[in-house]
Each structure stands twice: as structure tokens, then as C-alpha cells.
């Protein structure tokens, strides 16, 4: 199902999520993954907290998922049957009173893992979730795909660290409230441009509890151009063929990530007389 030598077909998908109704959200995720597979995608990225809902009123540790939860079985089955890698956000229960805001990865054998927990928590997330303590990359068909979640992508260092570790693409489940579209569309294009890598951004859309979300799922090329994008419609899926030659050429011609200085030295301050 790959798009050819040195290429990888990916999808960014969005839909509404129902707070606390994991079974309903899994069913939607199955439909999105199937639609992506129908278009030849090898990897599909879905939004932040999509399976459990981005609604702080519904966040409880009892409602957070475990990786062996039977409710995930239909999503595991579509991943296995269609040989598609599913990357999707969920609250994951790590201990009796501890949950993380995580990225689940369902591989082409249907196995479920949670290799990455959001490191930069935002707003009310800090009151409930435990932040992650490490970065993560998954390797698919020779591609190093770094993982981030929403606010992580607002920090240039996060994607820079992934690129320094060999990543050629940055997969970002996210949830942006309506009204923040201008920031959403700058951050992830900038992370692509900063590092000469692809960014695959999947944004939650529609109503989820008390919040309204803006979607904007997109795929950015290594110069920060949106090569596939949708608005706030639901459901929606976009696909694109990532090309390693484009990554290598862009990083060679625009080597900002490689040429960053370790230190800018001591800053001097000169007060000019009027």
C-alpha cells in the first residue's frame, strides 16, 4: 500500500467526537480509517483525544482507556484487515489516579500501543493529565514519523528534537477551538519550514461537549506549503504522498535545522541617548 519507492501515502482525518462515548468514537474512527485505506493511505492520523472526547467535564480516570480495552477491537480489526497504521488521540489510564493525554498507534497487525504522551499540556489539561517525559518516533516502511500533540507543535524545539533524531515527518493530532484558526495555520506550517520535514495535522472539528472546534486538517510539505487541506467539515479525509527525496533536497537547500547555533552568546544591551 505504499506509494512507491521512497514514498509514503498518508491521510489526515477529522470528524466530531462524542464526549465519553468511546464506542461511538471508535466506530467513527473505523469509518475514517477505512476511507483513508480506500484512497491507498498507509498511515492515517486522527485528532487529539478523539476516542475519549475533548471535554474536560467528561475527563475521569475511570473513563480513560487501557491499551487492552475491548472497545478498541473494531479499530484494531480495520488496521489489520486494511494494513493501515492508525494514529489517534485518547486519554490513557496509567494508574488508579493518573491519566495521560496520549497518542495511540494501532499497527498493521492490529496491535495497540501508546508510545507518546503529550509533553506540553495546555489550560485545563494540566489539572487532570500527567505530562509525558519523552519524545517518540514510529518507523513505517523506512520512514521515521515523529509524534506530537497540538500544543507540542507550538514549540519549535519539539519538532527540532524530532528532526535531529532522524524524523522526516511530524504527525500531530490536535484540537483547536473556533477562533484560533490563524494560529493553527501558522504553527504547523512553520514546523515544516523550520525543519524541512512534512507535517501531518489532524484537527478535531464540530461540537464536543461545551467546545466548538475548527478542524483544519492538513498536510504541509517541507517548505511549509499546505499540499492538502480541509476546512471545518465533518467527516473529512485528505491524503498525500510523502517523498523522501523532497525532504532530502529541501534540507540540503534550506539547512536551517542543521545550522542552528547551540548558543547565541551573551546578549548586550545598548541604551542610546535621545
Alpha-helix residue ranges (DSSP H) falling in 140-207: 156-164, 181-195
For residue 129, which phi and psi values (nearest 5 degrees)? -90, 155
At residue 169, the pLDDT reads 98
Comparing CA positions, the residue from 84, 269, 248 lying closest to residue 169 is: 248
What H or E segment, with its residue span, contains residue 29? helix 22-38
Contact 115, 149 (CB under 8 A): no
Share of the chain above pLDDT 70, in %: 98
Could you tell me the CA-to-CA distances from 110 to 37, 40, 117 in Å, in that order?
14, 18, 20
**Residue 10's beta-bridge partner residues?**
43, 240
* CATH code assigned to 7-259: 3.60.110.10
Q: Say whether pLDDT at 227 is over 90.
A: yes
Q: Residues 247-251: what's their mean pLDDT?
A: 97
At residue 2, the pLDDT reads 41
For 14-30, b/e burial (b = at least 16 CB within 10 A) is: bbbbbbbebeebbebbb
For residue 122, which phi and psi values (nearest 5 degrees)? -130, 135
Cell 490563524 -> residue: 182
| Model confidence band, residue 86 (pLDDT cutoffs 50, 70, 90) | very high
Q: Are strands 43-45 and 7-14 parallel, antiparallel or unpaired?
A: parallel
Q: Domain locations in the chain?
A: 7-259
Q: Residues 140-145: what's their mean pLDDT?
A: 98
Q: Say whether pLDDT at 1 is over 60.
A: no
* Distance between CA atoms of residues 63 and 159, nearest Å: 30
At residue 88, the pLDDT reads 98
* Distance between CA atoms of residues 57 and 174, nearest Å: 19
Q: Residues 199-222: what's their mean pLDDT?
A: 97
At residue 106, the pLDDT reads 98
* Distance between CA atoms of residues 201 and 230, nearest Å: 11
The pTM for the full model equals 0.95
Comparing CA positions, the residue from 12, 186, 154 lying closest to residue 88 is: 12
Q: Say whether pLDDT at 20 is over 70.
A: yes
Amino acid at each position: 500500500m505504499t506509494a512507491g519507492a521512497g514514498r509514503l501515502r498518508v491521510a489526515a482525518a477529522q470528524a466530531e467526537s462524542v464526549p465519553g462515548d468511546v464506542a461511538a468514537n471508535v466506530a467513527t474512527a473505523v469509518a475514517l480509517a477505512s476511507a483513508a485505506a480506500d484512497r491507498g493511505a498507509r498511515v492515517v492520523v486522527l485528532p487529539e483525544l478523539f476516542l475519549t472526547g475533548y471535554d474536560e467535564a467528561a475527563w475521569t480516570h475511570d473513563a480513560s482507556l487501557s491499551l487492552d480495552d475491548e472497545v478498541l477491537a473494531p479499530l484494531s480489526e480495520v488496521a489489520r484487515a486494511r494494513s493501515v497504521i492508525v494514529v489517534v488521540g485518547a486519554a490513557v489510564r496509567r494508574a488508579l489516579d493518573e491519566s495521560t493525554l496520549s497518542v495511540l498507534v494501532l499497527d498493521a497487525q492490529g496491535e495497540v500501543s501508546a508510545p507518546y504522551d503529550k509533553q506540553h499540556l495546555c489550560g485545563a489539561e494540566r489539572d487532570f493529565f500527567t505530562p509525558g517525559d519523552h519524545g517518540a518516533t514510529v518507523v513505517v516502511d523506512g520512514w521515521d514519523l515523529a509524534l506530537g500533540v497540538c500544543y507540542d507543535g507550538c514549540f519549535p524545539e519539539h519538532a527540532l528534537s524530532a528532526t535531529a533524531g532522524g524524523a522526516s515527518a511530524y504527525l500531530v493530532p490536535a484540537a483547536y477551538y473556533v477562533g484560533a484558526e490563524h494560529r493553527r495555520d501558522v504553527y504547523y506550517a512553520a514546523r515544516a519550514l523550520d525543519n524541512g520535514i512534512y507535517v501531518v495535522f489532524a484537527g478535531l472539528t464540530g461540537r464536543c461537549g461545551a467546545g466548538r472546534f475548527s478542524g483544519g486538517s492538513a498536510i504541509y510539505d517541507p517548505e511549509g506549503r499546505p499540499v492538502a487541506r480541509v476546512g471545518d467539515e465533518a467527516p473529512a479525509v485528505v491524503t498525500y504522498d510523502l517523498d523522501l527525496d523532497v525532504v532530502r533536497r529541501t534540507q540540503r537547500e534550506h539547512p536551517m535545522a542543521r545550522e542552528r547555533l547551540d548558543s547565541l552568546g551573551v546578549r548586550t544591551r545598548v541604551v542610546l541617548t535621545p
